[in-house]
């Protein structure tokens, strides 16, 4: 079964084609990727310091058809070869989701194919199955994507249990806000990580929010505020030497990353211990952070669990994860696929409410 995946939840337009044959025959799942194309809107939104929803929606309209043509060309397939269409139904920006839903539903109805709405976070959660070493169910997933920071127990496709989540700023939001405080461009994750490599250790004692809370929830607004306070203190010194300013920014970036990583790693370890799981998955855009990966790898070696990652090019939003998640859903009974042409979207959507019975 060949599934077309369409992702338009925020500021990336992703289109991909996935063949379920490797998954059904126990071959590496990555072999099923037939073609993919992605356009990022980062350059467009950088001027505004964040995503502008109306601009995002309009850009999805311009990009989705050329990206479909590109994916088909890569795969050597034609529209008549597609068996089903999967699209991001939510959560995300309403206008952006509507573009993807309308395109997917129209295409499916015109080709007389079933379509299936995919939860954006499910796409991220299952994407590590496409990696070189796929995790075994059940596993714990640390999902750090955009406005989401969550710990989930994943017992199978469509079987998710929320263990903890952020109470305010997500990790990705904290990265972006801290980057802005340090004069770095949007988005902040990669820029902060790169700057932190130049920082010296133990220059700032930043808080590690909820590290010892006893639960699996997160909070990063206090960490962002602590960074703001340090910036204000430095500005009061009226230091103008460029080298000294640059070193201050690097030291503060390192302290920020170390505090955030310490919390994410500690909570992940706790989730593994509480559930008895031996496999941890890191998914979402922040999953590409090298400091976080290094810390998790170190803990895994020390404490005897395995950690799995999606391929680096599949950490951010993409069409492959939607095609793949949609394909796995379509292989399950009572999967929710439909031939209806209704443009149904869910800008706010609890993942557990979409569990398979």
Is the pLDDT higher at 57 or at 173? 57
CA-wise closest residue to 29 among 153, 135, 104: 135
Spatial distance between the Cα atoms of 85 and 37, rounded to a whole number of angstroms: 16
pLDDT surpassing 90 at residue 63: yes
User: Which helix (H) or strand (E) segment is 89 a member of?
Assistant: strand 84-90
- Report residue 92 as tokens: 């995300």
Q: What is the pLDDT of residues 239-290, one digit of tens each?
A: 999 999 999 999 999 999 999 999 999 999 999 999 999 999 999 888 788 8
Of 31-40, 78-87, 130-139, 209-218, the least confident:
130-139
Q: What is the four-CA torsion angle of 168, 196, 141, 116, rounded to 10 degrees? A: 80
Q: Say if domain 136-309 classifies as CATH 3.40.50.800.
A: no
Spatial distance between the Cα atoms of 40 and 148, rounded to a whole number of angstroms: 19
Q: What is the pLDDT of residues 159-199, one digit of tens each?
A: 999 999 999 988 988 999 999 999 998 888 889 999 999 99
**Cα end-to-end span (Å), the chain:** 23
Q: Say if domain 2-126+314-354 classifies as CATH 1.10.287.3510.
A: no
Averaged pLDDT of the chain: 94
Tell me: cis bond preceding 187? Omega within 30 of 0 counts.
yes
Average pLDDT in the 196-223 region? 95
Q: What is the pLDDT of residues 97-108, one digit of tens each?
A: 999 999 999 999
Count of CB atoms situated within 10 Å of the CB of 311: 15
The three-state DSSP-derived secondary structure of 277-327 is: CCEEEEECHHHHCHHHHHHHHHHHHHHCCEEECCCHHHCCCCHHHHHHHHH
Confirm if 357 and 28 have CB atoms less than 8 A apart: no
Edge-first strand order for the sheet with 279-283 is 159-165, 148-156, 139-145, 279-283, 306-308
Spatial distance between the Cα atoms of 330 and 315, rounded to a whole number of angstroms: 23
Question: What's the pLDDT at 49?
Answer: 85
Question: What's the pLDDT at 146?
Answer: 74
Q: What is the pLDDT of residues 2-33, one digit of tens each?
A: 999 999 999 999 999 999 999 888 899 999 99
Question: What's the pLDDT at 288?
Answer: 80
Domain ranges of the chain: 2-126+314-354, 136-309
CA-wise closest residue to 29 among 173, 121, 130, 137: 130
Beta carbons within 8 Å of 21's beta carbon, 6+ residues apart: 1, 27, 32
In the chain, DSSP finds a helix count (H) and a strand count (E) of 11, 10
Q: What is the pLDDT of residues 109-150, one digit of tens each?
A: 999 999 999 999 999 999 999 988 889 999 999 999 778 899
Question: What's the pLDDT at 121?
Answer: 93
Question: What's the pLDDT at 45?
Answer: 94
């Amino acid at each position: 079964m060949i599934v077309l995946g369409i992702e338009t939840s925020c500021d990336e337009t992703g289109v991909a084609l996935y063949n379920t044959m490797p998954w059904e025959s126990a071959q590496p799942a990555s072999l099923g990727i037939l073609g993919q194309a992605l356009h990022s809107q980062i350059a467009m939104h950088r001027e505004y310091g964040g995503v502008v929803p109306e601009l995002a929606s309009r850009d999805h309209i311009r990009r989705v058809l050329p990206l479909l043509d590109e994916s088909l060309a890569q795969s050597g397939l034609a529209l008549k070869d597609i068996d089903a269409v999967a699209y991001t139904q939510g959560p995300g920006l309403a206008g952006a989701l509507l573009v993807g839903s309308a395109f997917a539903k129209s295409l499916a109805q015109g080709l007389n194919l079933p379509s299936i709405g995919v939860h954006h976070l499910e796409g991220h959660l299952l994407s590590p199955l496409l990696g070189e070493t796929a995790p075994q169910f059940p596993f714990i997933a640390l999902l750090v994507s955009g406005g989401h920071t969550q710990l989930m127990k994943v017992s199978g496709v469509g079987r998710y249990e929320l263990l903890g989540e952020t109470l305010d700023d997500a990790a990705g939001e904290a990265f972006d806000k801290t980057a802005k405080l340090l004069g770095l461009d949007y988005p902040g994750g990669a820029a902060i990580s790169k700057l932190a490599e130049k920082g010296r250790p133990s220059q700032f004692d930043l808080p590690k929010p909820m590290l010892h809370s006893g639960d699996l929830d997160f909070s990063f607004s206090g960490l962002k505020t602590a960074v703001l306070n340090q910036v204000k203190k430095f500005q009061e010194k009226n230091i103008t030497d460029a080298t000294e300013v640059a070193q201050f920014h690097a030291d503060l970036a390192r302290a920020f990353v170390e505090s955030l990583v310490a919390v994410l790693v500690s909570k992940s370890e706790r989730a593994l211990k509480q559930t008895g799981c031996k496999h941890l998955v890191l998914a979402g855009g922040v999953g590409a952070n090298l400091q976080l990966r290094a810390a998790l790898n170190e803990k895994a070696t020390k404490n005897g669990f395995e950690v799995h990652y999606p391929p680096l090019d599949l950490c951010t939003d993409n069409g492959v994860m939607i095609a793949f998640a949609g394909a796995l859903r379509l292989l399950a009974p009572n999967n929710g696929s439909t031939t209806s042409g209704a443009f149904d979207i869910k800008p706010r959507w609890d993942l557990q409410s979409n569990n398979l019975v």
